[in-house]
Structures are given as C-alpha cells and as structure tokens.
Amino acid sequence: MVAQVIDGKAFAAKVRAQVANQVAKLKEENGITPGLAVVLVGEDPASQVYVRSKGKMTVEVGMNSYEHKLDAETSEDDLLALIDKLNNDPAVHGILVQLPLPKHLNEDLVINSIDPAKDVDGFHISNVGLLGTGQKSMVPCTPLGCLMMLRDHHGSLSGMDAVVIGRSNIVGKPMAQLLLGDSCTVTIAHSRTKDLPDVVRRADIVVAAVGRPEMVPGDWIKEGATVIDVGINRIERDGKNKLVGDVDYASAAERAGAITPVPGGVGPMTIACLLANTLTACCRANDLPEPEGLTA
Ligand code: GUN
C-alpha cells in the first residue's frame, strides 16, 4: 500500500481561513477583536522564531497580537505580575507563556497563574482536569491539530485502536484523552513499554510524539494504519541539515494508509489551533456561540 499524504500545511491554511472568517464576523457583528498575548522570557533562538511566527499569523487572521519580551533574569514576581495584568485585561482573550522558561522560574507555578479561560495552551491544571473528565476545556494545540486531521481523514474514530508513543504533558497525555473522548481504544506507550513493535503493530492509529529521530520503522506499522508524526528533529545527513519526524517516513509510507510528512504535517497545525483556541476563548468570554469544527 502507498499511503495517502495528509497535507498539514494545506489543512492549517484552511483552519486559519476559517478563523479569519469568524474574526471578521465578530468584528462586524459584535465590535469585538480577539486578542492573543504571548510572553517570551529570555533569548532562546528557537522560541524567538516561534513567537515571531505566532505574532505574524495572529495579525494575518485579523486578531490583535500583544508581545511581551522579558529579560532572561526577570524575577518570578515580575512575571506573575504581568500575567495578573493580562488576566484582568478585557482586550486579551488568550495568554501564552512560551516554554521552556529560564531555570530560576517555576514553570508549573507560572502556567497555573494564567486564568484557565485564557489558557490557550491548555496547560493549566484546571484545563487538564476538565479534559480528563470530558468537560469543556481549552485543549493543547498540537494534540487538537492531530485530532482535527484524524477526524477529517476518518470521519468517526469510534472503536479504533490507537497508540500514542510518548507521555508528555504537552502532547502524549492530552492526545490520549482526546482519542479516548472520540471512543478509541487507547494505549500510551513510552520508553519502558515492553514489546513496543508489537504494541504499534496492533494500532489503526499511531501518534508518534517522542522526539527521537526516525525511531518508528515502517515494519512496525500495520498495513493501512494512519500515522501522525509529531516529531520535529534536526539531524545531519550527507553533510546537510535535515528535519525528520519520529517515524521513518520512507518505509512507513509503504505500509500506512495515510501519513503526515515532516515538515508540512502536524507542525503547521499547532499555530492554526492556537488561533482557533484564541477565537474559542473570545467567544466564550462574550457568551457567543463557539466556532464550529475548531474545538474538540
Ligand atoms: N514551546 C514549545 N511548544 C510550545 C507550546 O505549544 N506552547 C508553549 N507555551 N511553549 C511551547
């Protein structure tokens, strides 16, 4: 079987266009412009690239973008004071604190100081609990993007066997909750899982989110399975820098029914879902109906 390629870049463009449409409607009919505040502490180069890209796309869909760049030595009190200000600012509907934070800052404390209704990353402990109990929450962007692509490809996921490889708070655990919410039978696999190849071979859906370049070979993939590759790993091959996923794309594409490439798969969906979450947060804050197809 030669896999259908799931084009995340095109899908993300479609999601952003839907968001832009809704934002235009909100402005016209309600006089409201959604606003996203992004907080960056320090000068981590990769984080700077992400934050710039988020700001640009926020403006492109017609939202207000508020960027707060703080010195690497910023104290916890000063960061918490900024978050408190943003929590109380009615023009700000979404708040994202870029991770990782410098070592002297307590990430859990900082994330849990964000108003859960504005926590567009879905990392606040309240949102984690709401998702885990099947209640309305803010859903982490990368897993939400994966779920959208899976629903688009399959329609219903009910009864499918899904394996999530990786147990991070940002991707693995919320991904498993979302799949469970869509009535999959879910296995979370990780570095201590026994017989990982056998576990993966049983899956109709494989979500790989471990951050190890090409660790899932094609012969672990069940014929016709759907493979969602969350990994973005920089490697050097033949003297060139290359981006590869957690799945060996070439061999997996020979067995899978559908597969996301790296780059151009899950990656572009993350920011699209951040914008979708900001729109959702804005609608909820104003007691307006939530956008259709953009939430879990
Ligand atoms: N750093 C890497 N990915 C993310 C993300 O999804 N959200 C935040 N806040 N920081 C990140």
Active-site residue 98, yes or no?
yes
CB of 23 within 8 A of CB of 34?
yes
pTM of the model: 0.97
Residue type, 74: T
Based on the residue annotation, tell me whether 195 is a catalytic residue of this protein: no
Gap between the Cα atoms of 264 and 268, Å rounded: 6
Locate 228 and state its tokens.
Answer: 């969602």
Length of the chain, in residues: 296
Q: How are beta strands 4-5 and 258-259 bridged, if at all? A: parallel
Residue 255: DSSP 8-state: T
Query: CA 105 to CA 102: how far, in whole Å?
Result: 6
- What's domain 141-268's superfamily in CATH? NAD(P)-binding Rossmann-like Domain (3.40.50.720)
Q: What is the pLDDT of residue 1?
A: 79
> What is the pLDDT, as a whole number, of residue 66?
98
* 31-116 matches 141-268 in fold: yes
Whole-number pLDDT of residue 225: 98
Pocket of ligand 1 (CB under 6 A): 96-99, 121, 141, 170
The residues pairing with 227 across neighbouring beta strands, listed in sequence order, are 206, 259
Ligand 1 centroid – CA 278 distance (Å):
15
Please report which helix (H) or strand (E) contains residue 64, including its range. Answer: strand 64-70
Bond from prior residue into 34 cis (ω within 30 degrees of 0): no
What number of other Cβ atoms are within 10 A of residue 151's Cβ?
Answer: 15
Give the closest residue (by CA) to ligand 1 atom 9.
Answer: 98
CA distance 109 to 51: 21
pLDDT at residue 79, rounded to an integer? 98
Under-70 pLDDT residues of the chain: none
Tell me how far the alpha carbon of residue 99 lies from the centroid of ligand 1, in angstroms. 5
pLDDT number for residue 31: 98
135 is a catalytic site residue: no
Nearest atom within ligand 1 for CA of residue 170: 6
Q: Domain map of the chain by residue range?
A: 31-116, 141-268
In the CATH hierarchy, which top-level class contains the domain 31-116? alpha beta
- From 98, 177, 182, 246, active-site residue: 98
pLDDT in the model for residue 249: 98
Atom number in ligand 1 closest to CA 142: 6
| N- to C-terminal Cα separation, the chain | 31
